[in-house]
Each structure stands twice: as C-alpha cells, then as structure tokens.
Amino acid sequence: MACCTLVLPLAACGANGGGTADGEGDDVGNQAAVSVENCGETVNFDAAPERVTTLKPASIPTLNALDVLDRVTARAGQYPTEYYDDATNAKIAEIPSITDKLDASGHLQISREEVVATSPDLVLGFTDTVNRETVGYTGGVRMLEEPGFCDALESPVTWDDVYDEVRLYGTVFDRGNKAEQVVADLEKRVAELADKASGEGRSVAVLYPTVGGGVTYAYGTGSMSHPIVESAGLENVYGDSTERVFEVTAEDLVARDPDVIIALYSEGEAGPVVDAVKQIKGMENAKAVRENRIMPLLLNFAEPPTPLAVDGLEKVDEFLESNQ
C-alpha cells in the first residue's frame, strides 16, 4: 500500500493531513516537513514541490484533481488525449516536452542528463535510465513512482490502492483535504458502476499482446485490472495468479477460453492490438474471438491504480452493455 507518515510537526495522513477546509494547501514554505513511503524508500519533503517533471502519464489525473498540475514544468513520454478531458489536454499541451520517444514495448527512451537539465525538485516515474540509482537526490531531486509499477502493492490489488495513490500526492503537495474530497467522489462512482455488474456470468482475460507477434502478457490479481473486471461482474480467468503481469502461452490462453478479452496497449491506434490478439495461435477457436468480444483499452485505464482506473471501469461497463 502507498502510505504516508508526517513528521515535525505531527499531523494525520487522512482528512486532517494538511490543507485548509476548502481543500487548498498552505503557502509554500509553511507546509510541515513530510515523509512518504514509496517503492521501498522513505522520501522526505521540506516543502511542497514547485518544479515537477513527469515521465509517465499516470499521475496527471491525480495532479489535476488536486489542482497542482500547474507545478509540472516538463514532461516526457506519450500522453494520449483519450485519457483526459479537453481542459486537461490543453494544460498538458502547454507543458514543454523533453521527448516522446518510446521503444517497441512502450518504455520511455530518455537519459538521466535530459531529466536533470529540467531542474526538477520532483520527478514522477522511473525508467531504465532514470531512477533512484541513477538520479538519486542529485541537486535536491526526489523521485516517486506509482506503487503499482514498482511491485510495491500487495496482491490482490483493490480500489483502496487507488485512494491511497490520491492521498499520497495529497500529502506531498499539501492537499490533504482536497485529496479526501477526490477520494469520496471516486468511491461514489465505483459503487454506482459496481452495482450494474454488466459482465456477470462471463469470464475475461486482460492481456498485453505484442503487436507484430511475440510474447503475450496476462494480468493477475496483483494488477489494478483485477478489481476493475471484478467490479464489472467479470471473472478473471487468470485470477489464480497473484502476479501483476506475466507471460502466457497461446495454448493456455485458448484452454481458458475467456468470454471477453481486454487488450491493453500504450499508444497509437486500437486496431493493431485487436489484430495482435486474433493472430495468437489458436485464438480463432476462443469464444471471445469467435463472438467478437475483444476490447482494446489504453494501458493506464487499467494500470496502475489511479483515478483513471475508475474511467477504465466505466469503459469496460459500456463495452459489456453493448456486447451482450
């Protein structure tokens, strides 16, 4: 779980943790020093970050909901417009981009030097080349990663992990009261969607197929996709695995014969990822393919636990209602 611990002076991490009654934080410099546990390390903040560089799109909805997206002064990677509303996309477009280059598996291609050159006091997201080992606390730079991307969550993942993510950033940015307001709204939406359970009686596999052929990955109970499909009333055919994501064989996938397949992808058009599912050996015999129940879904609607997962549940529910 993402958790927070405040130090000197002591304050609570929930509804009372920083900020004023209307959800706005104190002026910079007045915030108490805070420490948060993130991906196996305690990260200390003397003040709320003012210069944030994001390396992934997952944190954007939370930052926006907490009214601190204006603290992001540089970004790298792809930020698909489908994730956000028009107003948020307009804000993102104004943030200078370092690079949007991804490799074939969706990993950002960027150097440590490029990130440090943006003079951040907080970097959000790890990459193979930019992480705590390579950047550390250089020049006061602190780093946070979504706990779902660094194997810091216990399986099974639940909706509480989404709410913890919001509270984590609420603590860091001195928006504790605002974070509780956001959490309450998310809880209400999840409850309303779960009541519909449009997929009840059907099974599902959540996959990340390699476009053009290659390894197929599936998601177990260590993934945010699991509570999403459960709330939609679906049974995860890989619910017997506590892992977040793992390789699966074509034979095993066909044998489990899901009624629905959710095919995740990182960028670009949806068509190629649907074709990639159909091209898996033997999949023409699977019920989901025969009955044309393959749902393409951008990755961050299912992974990691963020408010985008609630939008993901909404999209899954709409797909199930239209594909009875």
Residue 33 · residue 124 · CB < 8 Å: no
Using pLDDT thresholds of 50, 70 and 90, give the confidence band for residue 30. Answer: low
In three-state secondary structure terms, 74 is strand
The answer to whether residues 46 and 169 belong to one domain is: yes
**Per residue in 91-142, pLDDT tens?**
999 999 999 988 876 788 999 999 999 999 999 999 989 999 888 777 778 9
**Per residue in 232-277, pLDDT tens?**
999 999 999 999 999 999 999 999 999 999 999 988 899 999 999 9
What residues contact residue 35 under an 8 Å CB cut-off, 6+ apart? 4, 5, 6, 7, 42, 43, 44, 45
Separation CA 163–CA 175 (nearest Å): 14
- Per-residue pLDDT for 61 more than 50? yes
Domain that holds residue 155: 3-188
**Among candidate residues 188, 218, 249, the one where a domain is terminated:** 188
Residue 209 · residue 139 · CB < 8 Å: no
The answer to whether residues 180 and 241 belong to one domain is: no
**Per residue in 73-87, pLDDT tens?**
999 999 999 999 999
Give the residue-averaged pLDDT of 273-295.
96
Q: In the chain, which residue ranges form alpha helices assigned H by DSSP?
A: 60-65, 86-93, 112-116, 159-172, 176-196, 225-231, 250-256, 271-278, 287-290, 308-322
The identity of residue 225, as a single letter, is S
**Per residue in 141-163, pLDDT tens?**
899 999 999 989 999 999 999 99
**Among candidate residues 188, 215, 247, the one where a domain is terminated:** 188
- Per-residue pLDDT for 218 more than 70? yes
- Per-residue pLDDT for 23 more than 70? no
The answer to whether residues 42 and 163 belong to one domain is: yes
Q: What pLDDT score does 26 carry?
A: 44
Exposed, middle or buried: residue 313 (CB in 10 Å: 0-12, 13-18, 19+)?
buried
With vertex at residue 68, the alpha carbon angle to CA 190 and CA 138, rounded to the nearest 5 degrees, is 115
- Per-residue pLDDT for 15 more than 60? no
Radius of gyration of the chain (CA): 20
The answer to whether residues 127 and 215 belong to one domain is: no
The answer to whether residues 208 and 316 belong to one domain is: yes
**First vs last Cα of the chain: how many Å apart?**
36
The answer to whether residues 11 and 34 belong to one domain is: yes
Mean pLDDT value across the chain = 89
